[in-house]
Chain A
Amino acid sequence: MKNSENKNHILLSVRHLNKSFRSGDAEQTIINDLDLDIRQGDFTVIMGSSGAGKSTLLYALSGMDKPTSGSITFCGEDITSYSADKLAVFRRKHCGFVFQQIYLLDKMSLMDNALTAGLLVGGKKKETVRRAAALFEKVNLPEVTWRKFPSQISGGEAQRAGIVRAVINRPEVLFADEPTGALNSNNSDAVLDVFTELSRDGQSIIMVTHDKKSALRGNRVIYLRDGRIFGECDLGEYTPDNAARTEKLNAFLTEMNW
């Protein structure tokens, strides 16, 4: 069920999710009995103060981390019971990741970074290479950069290459953890534009951010506090320079004491 047009379809369903860490004798609860549904095609933004559990929730949803209890259902299947290897298969087939630290493989060219993910799911090599090239062009990375190593390009270019790697397998969900956190303003805008374009193409995105400008790109904002959903705001479809959306988000965040 790739990028279906069915906007009401529930892609991810979370029930009574708990995640706690033990530190010495003390147990710290990060996610606390959380319920959440993620709809197909939504650009969901998760916000909250530091330690609210944003990243923990993101990585639990994507099968990168195992919750302490509760269930996460992806297209009707509970992924919390998956083994490590099965979760790896789940990630490669259904998820894409964009990280704040970018995390490109530094000993590989940008093209190889993309193909490392693209060729993992099988399919014809030529087609995968063509798709990678198309995506690079889509994120405004010219051919001359494809053979470069991550250390030879700017942060913004690296992050856009990271997005190519994340979406090359046409994942059901694109997970992004503070994707503009390490970028300057210009590079941030370029990266966010890519996200917006992907969202318009029907890509489901879940993005953690503490940046209001980034949050405006989503159509749904969830605010976490103490591991629970403290509030939720529906912003509607993103359009540039939409003052009403900005005002709505500001009001929501004020309400959330952000």
Chain B
Amino acid sequence: MKQISHLSLYFFKKDKKQILSFGMIILITALILHLALVLALRIDPTYDRLSDELHSADIDMVIPKMTDSAALSDAVRRHPSVEQLERQRAILQKAVMKDFRGTDFELNILFYNWDDPRAMHRLSCRRRSEEAVQNPIYLPLYIAEFGEYAPGETITFSIGGRDFPYTVAGVVQEMQYGNASAELMGVFLPDAQYRQLTQALEGGEVVNYAVRTGEGADRQTVLTDLRKTAEEQQAPVLFALTRESRKQSRMMVTNLLTVILAAFAVIVLLVSIFLCRFRIKTTVAEEMAQMGVLKSLGFTSGGIIAAEVLPYTAAALLFSVLGVALSYGLLPTLVNVLALQAGFRFDVAYSPAALILTVALLTVVTLVFTWLAAGRIRRLLPIAAIRGVTDGRGMKKNRFPLAKTPGSVHFTLMLKQMAVSARQNVLLFVVLFVMTILIAFSGSLFYNGIIRPDHLMNTLSDESPDVILQVSSSDIAGMKRAIGSLDGAEKVLSYAIRQVQVGDENAVAFVCEDFSKTQNDGCYEGQNPVSGREIAIGSALAERLGCGVGDTAVVTYGDTSRSYRIVGLVQSVNNRGEICELTDQGFAALSGGKETHSLYVYLKNSADADGFIEKAQTACGGEIVSAVNAAKKQREAQSLYMGIITVVIAVIFAVTALIVLLILFVIIRSMMTQCRQEFGIYKAIGYSGRQLVAQTAGSLMPVTVAAALSSALLGLVWLPAVNHAIFGMVGAMKNHMEQPVGILLLFVAAEIAVTLLISVLLARPIKKIEAYSLIKE
């Protein structure tokens, strides 16, 4: 044992820089893997714990107050799966939050009474204004943090053209709603403000039926039952949420990030496996004579293998622990970003499972692969090893003979050097291939998120005009003409968003006079509705209703129900696929044609939306209830996405460059160790250090180029599938992402250039090697 540890120490001393590089890659793998595991293992339970702590309901069902009755609540309570019911009064309004992260943001808001006692959906106040404030309001974490409203600051709700300013008195943790993608949020007014708002609005009063179900109940089934019960009691369900749908909308980005991190960790782990295999095999080749001597002295193959494997396994253990420790440094930042989107905070707690899984996986994988790679030691006969059977005896074919290969001697020597290094070529090819997968992905993101941000925006958002005008006039056609004739208008569309019921499911209905004139066609199967009897429905609805194109769906709005033929399937990220599309004509048959509409205005110059709104208000001010600069909102959202994408691309490039640097360091160090004498001979013959540096770096380029190009070209095939899978996870069934060959090649060229530069820098020590000292060796 003592001898083995001495031998192991020798191997470590000999290879310490390469082992350190391997350790760095393990550190990166451990860091990413541990982040993914913590997200996967900790956030979900934290979400559930918070929900339990705050006594979250399992089902929420919002109905108009005027339709609420004791009979309905009794009927709900009688449902065998309902354990507890609490009726919570609120005011439901479609409100525009002014200056929400620098723009106006429209959302369905439930104004609750802060002073009402709550048995369910309790609130935990996280931050309060230090001083008493006038006109106070309590905001949920999501609105406060994502919308950037701090305690003491003002938040203004614009409802039906009237502004209601409040001062943020506190920020509460609630687990009742999701985030913006749920299209419904709750805010909390003290009793006095609640009463004032009730009086000011004269309507919109609702009751939220907060229901807790028994253990093991299928909440979606219970919700369907309760909807029917409500219908029977003449109470239309305006909104309904289950614990699962809330969770899905809040955890979407977290889950997406977890998957991406885990995929990233697997890629880097693959690189580290190939790296340790390469180093072990190279060490066996370099140390063959010594191993022969050791065997002849009586060392067993197992002992030598153990000594060889031990430094790498120890490095994997040590650096994976360091990677985990480092990930705890990054977790607070990551958690803050996720909390912003998820609307709930969770503590960065120690996760023994994530730690053990990360360290054990990396250590065991290293041990197994290094042990397998060192297997050749068993087959070494001592005398053959001492004689150095590898030195040229394995050479069977003289590849790229200098006499016949066209091109300069330096180019041919570069090819020859490449041709005799199969092991390093395999390692380099694998590393560059998998790294190019990331580079290609970032190239795709760069094009679709920064050069053509409309691609990403159209994938992730609904129809986006430049200006949205809410009009009160019943003469929509006349208003359209008037607005359309204003200077700067390109086209005007009548568009409305309404809450309807499709079958038993709540859905957001997009109502448009002509979907063929919209800019963001979300239809991914079939077509958009054209006639008054046609409907297109969202993916989630189609799944829940168990219907598709060609089937019939019954749509209920208010008291009116009507059947429509499903002609297409449409996507919507913001409403989790719970949407439908109806024509003006089709919706008029439900509403009786008395509804107010929005006019979606598309401008020739979207930058001048504010100017256009002024012109529109001057021309038809009395009839315009509200005007939203949607172009500005779109730009704000775009800049947010572009910022995130820039960070993602920068991180991918930095990690790729670091991994390529570490791998090239190991490869070039190995080459310098193995070819030390060769370099000396070249120098003696008259080759300059510069030529040898170029030859060494150049010998890596054919494999680099081949790996990068083949991975990039394959990327053209798999990137659409990856994008489809990733965006499909958030409900974007039809993504507008394109794979531009030019950008992809540009990114790959940058990767190759960086690889070449790193290779040249790493090979520079060859210049310092003196011919005479090598000859002496």
A residues whose Cβ falls under 8 Å from a Cβ of B: 59, 64-65, 84-85, 88-93, 95, 97, 99, 103-109, 111-112, 115-117, 119-121, 125, 129, 147, 149-152, 165
Contact = CB atoms under 8 A, between A and B. Distances in A.
B678 A92 contact: no
B685 A91 contact: yes
B393 A151 contact: yes
A99 B775 contact: yes
B297 interface: no
A116 B688 contact: no
Given A116-B685, A117-B685, A106 B392 contact: yes
A104 to B, nearest CB: 8
26 contacts: A65-B770, A84-B688, A84-B767, A85-B688, A88-B688, A89-B688, A91-B683, A92-B685, A92-B687, A97-B685, A99-B775, A103-B681, A104-B681, A105-B678, A106-B391, A107-B416, A107-B678, A111-B401, A112-B398, A112-B401, A115-B403, A116-B685, A120-B687, A147-B398, A149-B395, A149-B398
A116 B402 contact: yes
A108 B420 CA distance: 10
Contact of A64 (B395, B684, B687): B684
Size band of the B side of the interface? 20 to 34
Contacts of A150: 392
Contact of B686 (A89, A104, A107, A115): A89
Nearest to B691: A88
Contacts of A93: 686
Interface string B75-103: 00000000000000000000000000000
Given A85-B689, A103-B684, A125-B403, 18 more contacts: A65-B772, A85-B688, A88-B687, A88-B689, A91-B683, A91-B685, A92-B686, A93-B686, A105-B678, A107-B416, A112-B402, A112-B403, A112-B416, A115-B403, A116-B685, A121-B686, A129-B403, A152-B392
Contact of B395 (A84, A107, A119): A107
Given A85-B688, A111-B402, A129-B403, A116 B393 contact: no
A115 B685 CA distance: 11
A111 B403 contact: yes
Contacts of A108: 398, 416
A142 to B, nearest CB: 17
Closest 8 CB pairs of A and B: A92-B686, A106-B392, A119-B409, A151-B392, A65-B772, A88-B688, A115-B402, A91-B686
A226 B395 CA distance: 44
A97 B393 contact: no
Interface string B391-410: 11101001001110000110
A151 B681 contact: no
B401 A91 contact: no
Interface string B675-708: 0011011111111111100000000000000000
Nearest to A175: B684
Contacts, number: 102
Contacts of B401: 109, 111-112, 147
Contacts of A151: 391-393, 395
Contact of B413 (A106, A116, A149): A116
A123 B37 CA distance: 63
A109 B686 contact: no
Contacts of A109: 398, 401
Nearest to B770: A65
A105 to B, nearest CB: 6
A112 B682 CA distance: 13
B775 A103 contact: yes
Contacts of A97: 684-685
Contacts of B767: 84
Interface of B: 391-393, 395, 398, 401-403, 408-409, 413, 416, 420, 677-678, 680-691, 767, 770-772, 775
Nearest to B408: A119
B46 to A, nearest CB: 59
Contact of B409 (A88, A107, A120): A120
B416 to A, nearest CB: 7
B680 to A, nearest CB: 8
Nearest to A63: B771
Interface of B is mostly: helix
B677 A103 contact: yes
A120 B411 CA distance: 11
A1 B775 CA distance: 28
A76 B777 CA distance: 32
A132 to B, nearest CB: 8
A38 B772 CA distance: 21
Given A109-B401, A111-B402, A147-B398, A64 B686 contact: no
Given A64-B772, A116-B413, A107 B392 contact: yes
A90, A93, A151 — which one has the most chain B CB atoms within 10 A of its CB? A151
A150 B394 CA distance: 12
B761 to A, nearest CB: 18
B612 to A, nearest CB: 68
A59 B684 CA distance: 10
A88 B686 contact: yes
A89 B690 CA distance: 12
A128 to B, nearest CB: 9
A100 to B, nearest CB: 10
B395, B681, B683, B689 — which one has the most chain A CB atoms within 10 A of its CB? B681
A64, A92, A95 — which one has the most chain B CB atoms within 10 A of its CB? A64
A108 B403 CA distance: 12
Nearest to B406: A125
A84 B684 contact: no
Contacts of B775: 59, 64, 99, 103
A106 B392 CA distance: 5
A91 to B, nearest CB: 4
A88 B444 CA distance: 47
A88 B690 CA distance: 10
A146 B770 CA distance: 29
Contacts of B688: 84-85, 88-89
Contact of A116 (B409, B683, B770, B772): B409
B289 to A, nearest CB: 14
Contacts of A120: 409, 685-687
A150 B391 CA distance: 9
Nearest to B690: A85
Contacts of B413: 116
Nearest to A132: B403
A139 B365 CA distance: 55
A59 B678 CA distance: 18
A119 B402 contact: yes
A150 B684 CA distance: 18
Nearest to B391: A106
A117 B408 CA distance: 13
B772 A59 contact: yes
B381 to A, nearest CB: 17
A64 B398 contact: no
Contacts of B771: 64-65, 91
A97 B687 CA distance: 13
Nearest to A151: B392
A84 B689 contact: yes
A162 to B, nearest CB: 10
Contacts of A111: 401-403
A134 B647 CA distance: 64
Contacts of A105: 678, 681-682
Contacts of A115: 402-403, 409
Contacts of A89: 686, 688
A168 to B, nearest CB: 10
Contacts of A104: 681
Contacts of A91: 683-686, 771
B682, B684, B686, B691 — which one has the most chain A CB atoms within 10 A of its CB? B686
A219 B46 CA distance: 93
Contact of A88 (B403, B677, B683): B683
Contacts of B403: 111-112, 115, 125, 129
Nearest to A129: B403
B435 to A, nearest CB: 29
